[in-house]
Amino acid sequence: MTKFPGYDGKRVIVSGCFSGMGEATARLLLALGAEVHGIDYKDCALSLASFHNVDLRDRVSIDAAVGAIGGRVDALFNCAGLPQTCAPLDVMKVNFIGTRHLTEQVITLMPAGSAIASISSTGGLGWSRRIPVHKEFLQVAGFDDAVTWSADHADIVREGYAFSKEAVIVWTMQTSFHLIKRGIRINCTAPGPTQTPMMKDFERATPMAVLDMATQPINRRSTPEEQAAPLVFLNSPAASYVNGVLLPVDGGFMSGMATGQVEMAALSPTKAA
């Protein structure tokens, strides 16, 4: 097994630990000696230090879990998410609004040297074209006001998935500038299509040709374990000078787009998984 330094005895939180990338991340952290505290809407079968049923659509649920975990937290892994087949406001709450609120609560427990890693998506690659909109959105502080903004801007939020994943990216970059002053790093990944239980939802909502295009040039979907390892690296001391980064974990897809080897016209901003 690849060894990442610095997780022995570290207290970490993994959201979305029931399945997929979150479960793979929690399993890897357990193998590396971390004290893992999990949160999810569904029960987790892993032998964790603690597990808390949390609905990221509910601010009170989030606050209760963070209060129950308490103590020092050395790393937070934001892995929970909903696909575009769910109600747009639910998608926004889980993928970004609730995730941001969870992070803000956990930050109060984090000493200097801690780190945060969140999962975005290649589905959020439109972020750079909508920075002004996202900066306006990010100025809306608080869970409830962010939900109201999302409801009032349904024409922008649309199905919720792409916008929420874009928001994770811009929020990560913006927040990193300030958090690092406290010695806390924050980064995010952009997975390509990954064979998790949620993939069936992407297959229902997205033409197969688009999903296949998003696997180029490696021409296969990733495994949850291939997504977990980069997250664990980003929050490890080995990445101590990595901050505010969007790390593509997509088999070369973004490189292909940047160099014109993947046809952008084949993809709409809301279709990549």
Answer whether residue 266 shows pLDDT above 80. no
Q: Per mean pLDDT, which range of 73-87, 135-149, 155-169, 255-269 is the poorest?
A: 255-269
Answer whether residue 157 shows pLDDT above 90. yes
The whole-number average pLDDT for the span 86-112 is 98
The whole-number average pLDDT for the span 71-84 is 98
pLDDT digits (tens, 9 = 90+) for 205-224: 889 988 999 999 999 999 99
Q: Band the pLDDT of 265: cuts 50, 70, 90.
A: low
**Contact call for residues 7 and 30 (beta carbons, < 8 A):** no
Q: What is the pTM of this model?
A: 0.94
Q: How high is the mean pLDDT of the chain?
A: 94
- The residue among 80 and 257 whose pLDDT is bigger is 80
Task: Supply the pLDDT for residue 270.
Answer: 43
Q: Per mean pLDDT, which range of 134-138, 259-263, 264-268 is the poorest?
A: 264-268
The whole-number average pLDDT for the span 186-214 is 93
Task: Supply the pLDDT for residue 269.
Answer: 44
Answer whether residue 267 shows pLDDT above 90. no
Give me the domains of the chain, ranges plus CATH numbers.
11-266 (3.40.50.720)
pLDDT digits (tens, 9 = 90+) for 15-59: 999 999 999 999 999 999 999 999 999 999 999 999 999 999 999
Residues found in the chain: 273
Answer whether residue 3 shows pLDDT above 80. no
